[in-house]
């Protein structure tokens, strides 16, 4: 699956669920369901197909419950290992003030995702 196919599939999915009576149409409900699914699939090898499956399932899945530990979070976690572009671990992403290029984004996609 290439980027265009993935993008088209996400757009189609969004249109489908916008028109449906999906349970988790509100952002907070959707994101909590997405979190629960991502935690459950955390050990599976990543693929575009798996990501599409998770994104789609989150519209109807059970939401994650509130976790008291979230109140203790004071900073965002470091970027995932595949978002580092050099052995020394330099961040691929630039500051929020600098525009991102397609090359920056493509560098962060998993191997085999074109």
Burial 62-101 (b: 16+ CB within 10 A, else e): ebbeeeeeeeeeeeeeeeeeeebeeeeeeebeeeeeeeee
**pLDDT computed for residue 94 by the predictor:** 41
**pLDDT computed for residue 104 by the predictor:** 58
Check pLDDT > 50 for residue 75: yes
pTM: 0.55
Task: Find the mean pLDDT for residues 73-81.
Answer: 64
Which residue carries 């990501």 as its tokens? 51
- Give the pLDDT band (50/70/90) at residue 99: very low
């Amino acid at each position: 699956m290439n980027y265009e196919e993935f993008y088209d599939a996400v757009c189609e999915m969004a249109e489908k669920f916008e028109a449906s009576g999906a349970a988790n149409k509100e952002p907070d409900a959707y994101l909590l369901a997405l979190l629960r699914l991502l935690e459950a699939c955390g050990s599976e090898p990543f693929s575009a197909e798996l990501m599409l499956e998770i994104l789609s399932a989150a519209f109807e899945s059970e939401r994650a419950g509130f976790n008291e530990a979230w109140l203790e979070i004071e900073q965002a976690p470091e970027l995932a290992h595949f978002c580092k572009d050099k052995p020394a671990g330099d961040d691929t992403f630039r500051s929020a003030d600098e525009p991102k290029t397609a090359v920056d984004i493509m560098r962060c996609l998993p191997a085999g995702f074109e």
